[in-house]
Amino acid sequence: MIHSYSGEAAWYSHVQFGLDKTLHNYKFDDVVEKQATGIIPPVNGLQIGVVTQLESDPDGESRIRVRLPTVEKGGDGIWARLAAIDAGKDRGWVWNPEINDEVIIGFINDDPRDAVILGRLYSSAHPPHLSYKDDNHQKGMQTRSGMKLLFDDEKKIIHMETPGGNKFTINEDEKAITIEDQNGNKIKTSEGGITIESVKDISLKASGDFNIEGKNITTKANAQLKLEGSAGLELSSPAITKVKGSIVQIN
């Protein structure tokens, strides 16, 4: 609204509705920075990209080549930096997307020369390995070969597994840790102690001394039990010592 007063003692009010046809950043270009610094046409908003190449960045900037289907259906695409959970000299989190993965691309100051991969996208064509549920108890990762690291917040379980069936599980509900290989061998620690199960032989070897101590120790062989000492053998007890057999041979 503009008020004005003329020399004829008349008062005028001018009211305008709507926006000025010239936008603010074009009227005052010294206040708002131009997109892409005003040098080249900008890119507005985010773009969906498809990864086409992971290596051989021509500038050596650890970038990934991404094709933008909405911009060009063919072609090699553009080079984009990859945002990471942690990144720094000789350290950080290296977890590159796979070729043909869908990613979301942003541009610093809307400059098409400064692309950044902000994240990765699931879709009906690329569904996740865990289904989405409202309780959201299960989380985890899985590589393309099927190696898994899973977390269950409800049961307090951390689970690792390889495609061949080697497993490592920490179960807080059961107060147990279990290691199991693809052959069926198993080690389990729990409130009841430690259990070792083998489908075949068990070999224990020490370069130094090997000591076994417990309240009671029971050794049983379903076939034959053999104790042998290269330098000597001692069997003793401060209490009663029994040696039984259908035939007992000494020396």
> For the chain, which residues make up each domain, given as ranges?
2-37, 47-120, 138-197
The domain 138-197 is classified under which CATH number: 2.20.220.20, 3.30.1330.10, 2.40.70.10, 3.20.20.70?
2.20.220.20
At 226, the pLDDT band (50, 70, 90 cuts) reads confident
- pLDDT greater than 90 at residue 159: yes
167-181 in b/e form (b: 16+ CB < 10 A) is: bbbebeeeeebbebe
Q: Do domains 47-120 and 138-197 have the same CATH topology?
A: no
What is the average pLDDT value for the chain, to the nearest integer? 87
At 249, the pLDDT band (50, 70, 90 cuts) reads confident
233, two tokens? 């053998």
- pLDDT greater than 90 at residue 37: no
Of 23 and 127, the one with more pLDDT: 127
- pLDDT greater than 80 at residue 40: no
Q: How many CB atoms lie within 10 A of CB 107?
A: 21
47-120: CATH topology: OB fold (Dihydrolipoamide Acetyltransferase, E2P) (2.40.50)
**What confidence score (pLDDT) does residue 193 get?**
93
